[in-house]
Amino acid sequence: MNDEIYPVPTSWAQEAKIDAARYAADYARSLSDSSGYWLEQAKTLNWITPPTLADESSFAEADFGVRWFADGVLNVSANCLDRHLATRGDQVAIIWEPDSPDAAPRHITYAELHADVCRLANVLKAQGVRKGDRVTLYLPMIPEAAVAMLACTRIGAIHSIVFGGFSPDALAGRITDCDSRIVITADEGRRGGKAVPLKANVDAAAELVTCLDAVIVVQVTGGDVPMKTGRDHYYADVMAAVSLDCPPEPMSAEDPLFLLYTSGSTGKPKGVVHTTAGYLLWASLTHNLVFDYRDGDIFWCAADVGWVTGHSYIVYGPLANGATTLMYEGVPNWPTPARIWEVVDKHKVNQIYLAPTALRALMREGDSFVMQTSRASLKLLGTVGEPINPEAWRWYHEVVGQGRCPIVDTWWQTETGGHMISPFPGATALKPGSATVPFFGVEPKLVDADGKILEGAAEGNLVITRSWPGQMRTVWGDHERFFQTYFSTYPGTYFTGDGCRRDGDGYYWITGRVDDVINVSGHRMGTAEVESALVLHRSVAEAAVVGFPHDIKGQGIYAYVTLNVGEEPTDELRQKLVKWVRMEIGPIATPDALQFTPGLPKTRSGKIMRRILRKIAEGDVSSLGDTSTLADPSVVDDLIANRVS
């Protein structure tokens, strides 16, 4: 329990867009008059045909579906660009801060961004891309990533961004799953002074897929990369060959906007599908109100565009709101742990949005790296991706924000499109470690294991009982999996996969995943994915992977591996397997610990008892619970004796 409360600063209570009274009134109305509330909010978008319908969703199996504003017509790039041209064409849309502090930043105005987006849209058309086609983006953190996203939306193509840290195998799987003919990539990315071989990875992925016939390559480092004649084109060349004129394609509100692969508790990553109007409204409204964004503010979301946070809060939310959004190519602690705060000073950043893992890593380096900067421009601090421990929260508040800046701890998911539970800086007293209260239209509930709804102060599984505009619409190519994954566990509700506590003030405290998803440095990872990668190795018979508490990463990856008969459990093989997983999935999936074991703890029906594996990984071997139902209880002693610490 944590009883610390930070009241809303008076100036915020007086000046913020949402104060406590407004929050209470609008929240109540968003539930009692959902249609009226949402049709009114929808007016903040620019429509070709405004919608007359709001929510037509149902979570029940019989008439299951998620639909919002279905009779409306609009275009996302027109909302993010064209509508701003008359009033803020010369305003900077994107500030780009390069990896190296010695290289020159770029400032791209709305007019310039509009021109590049139109050109790239014409390039895509010339490559034969049509409305509804999928375009894979495998790009570093460069403005061309935003250009590529918006160019897709301009012609109604569906983008699928694959994080640049994913391996050729992971990339190939994602290209194949959505049958994408075209990839936009870069020669190399730059991160923390190192080059990331993006084009080489695309070449390797291309060997594994059959659908790919065009690759557009942005030259970032000028590195020498082989170009395949007929398939590969340099971005600068194709951009120079097309016209600037590309009218936005009218899109139906429910046409798919993008898909983004994310890890679940079972099987391969699923393509989360977001559609046009509901997603854009959710991203822009949450960006506007949760960050209390004001005209002229410089907003910095320090995520990668490869994750949903980058989609919603580097690109779509800020640009729909006519904001200036900062995009940073590098990593938080390079060349020194002061870099983030130096970038804040350099560009006079007003709101910064980070993952707790970055804060913990920087906090460990001591306060001096923060104190040597001014940070006077900061008004508000945000966090996302994992629960923030109160110690890191306080450090963020006191040291980084000098006690002046409210912190918005925003809970949400790839599936939700944008913030779901979060403080409003002018309305919500803060409690370190709590994501606090629901956003407008969000109705969270807690249920016990049997699905019984828990009232008042309670702890249980977090479900959402009604749809909201930013909700995902389906799993790409597998609508049944969408229903089964999220709506079958507690019928009639969307199950988040998170555990949660609600305190006596109605504040929500996310306790972490209750399924087999782990959260490593704010990145979602399915334990099943790491297991599949391990068993692909010829020495491995069986593998089980669990998360364990990790000081910096939040959770680390602990792998238990049973070898094939005749294989020796050597340190060399251990290192090989760790490297193998990195190669199969990418560096973010690198196991932190790998233990060889002659057997895994299984029930008589053959089910692996993960509870026991988690306890051993945590080092909590005194409370393993009942092991008598195991087929062979003696494996537990061996697991404990050979624990890797």
Contacting residues toward ligand WTA, per CB under 6 A:
262, 307-309, 384-387, 409-414, 435, 496-498, 510, 512-513, 519, 524
Q: Is 521 annotated as a binding residue?
A: yes
Minimum separation from the CB atom of position 449 to ligand WTA (A): 18
Indicate the residue among 264 and 337 with the shorter CB distance to ligand WTA: 264
**Integer Cα distance of 51 and 74 in angstroms:** 10
> Is 191 annotated as contributing to ligand binding?
yes
CB of 498 to ligand WTA, least distance (A): 5
CA gap 550, 51 in Å, rounded: 48
Is residue 537 annotated as involved in ligand binding? yes
470 marked as part of a ligand binding site: no
Q: Is 305 annotated as a binding residue?
A: no
Min dist. Cβ of residue 626 to ligand WTA (A): 28
Closest Cα partner for 349 from 307, 320, 318? 318
Instruction: Using the minimum distance from each CB to ligand WTA, give the nearer residue, 98 or 278.
Output: 278
The smaller minimum CB distance to ligand WTA, of residues 326 and 384, is found at 384
Is the separation of the CB atoms in 78 and 248 below 8 Å? yes
Contact 520, 355 (CB under 8 A): no
Q: Which is nearer to ligand WTA, 136 or 309 (CB)?
A: 309
Phi-psi domain of 128 (left: phi exceeds 0; alpha: psi -120 through 50; beta: other): left
Does the annotation flag 409 for ligand binding? yes
Q: Looking at beta carbons only, is 270 or 466 nearer to ligand WTA? A: 270
Taking the complex as a whole, how short is the minimal distance between the CB of residue 3 and ligand WTA, in angstroms?
19
Closest CA to 379 of 347, 411, 402: 402
Instruction: Considering the complex, state which of residue 66 and residue 272 has its C-beta at the smaller distance from ligand WTA.
Output: 272
* The two three-digit tokens of residue 375, written as one number: 């940070």
Distance CA 321, CA 82 (A): 12
* Structure token digits, residue 394: 């306080």
Residue 60: exposure state from Cβ atoms within 10 A (0-12, 13-18, ≥19):
exposed
How far apart are CB 422 and ligand WTA at their closest, in Å?
Answer: 8
Q: How far is the CB of 494 from ligand WTA (least distance, A)?
A: 12
State which residue, 319 or 388, has the beta carbon closest to ligand WTA: 388
Residues facing 47 on adjacent strands: 74
Does the annotation flag 412 for ligand binding? Answer: yes
Closest residue to ligand WTA in the complex (CB): 414
Q: Which of 252, 243, 183, 267 is nearest to 217 (CA)?
A: 183
Handedness of CA 5, 345, 297, 383 (dihedral sign): negative
- Is 134 annotated in a binding site? The answer is no
Helix (H, G, I), strand (E, B) or coil at 102: coil
Minimal distance, residue 235 CB to ligand WTA, in Å: 29
Helix 571-584 × helix 168-177 angle, to 10°? 40
Report, in Å, the least distance between residue 169 CB and ligand WTA: 20
Is the CB of 41 or the CB of 519 nearer to ligand WTA? Answer: 519
What SS3 state is found at 258? strand
Q: Are 319 and 351 in contact (CB under 8 A)?
A: no
Q: Which of 461, 166, 172 is nearest to 307 (CA)?
A: 166
194 assigned to a ligand binding site: yes
Residues 338 and 242: their CA atoms lie apart, in Å, by 43
312 annotated as belonging to a binding site for a ligand: no
Q: Are strands 189-191 and 194-196 parallel, antiparallel or unpaired?
A: antiparallel
HSE-CB at 190 with a 13 A cutoff on CA atoms is 19
Taking the complex as a whole, how short is the minimal distance between the CB of residue 412 and ligand WTA, in angstroms?
A: 5
**Residue 194 host element (H or E):** strand 194-196
When the beta carbons of 337 and 547 are compared against ligand WTA, the nearer one is: 547
| 156 labelled binding-site residue | no
Binding-site residues for CoA: 191-194, 309, 333, 521, 582
Binding-site residues for ATP: 385-387, 409-414, 498, 513, 524
Binding-site residues for Mg(2+): 535, 537, 540
Binding-site residues: 191-194, 309, 333, 385-387, 409-414, 498, 513, 521, 524, 535, 537, 540, 582
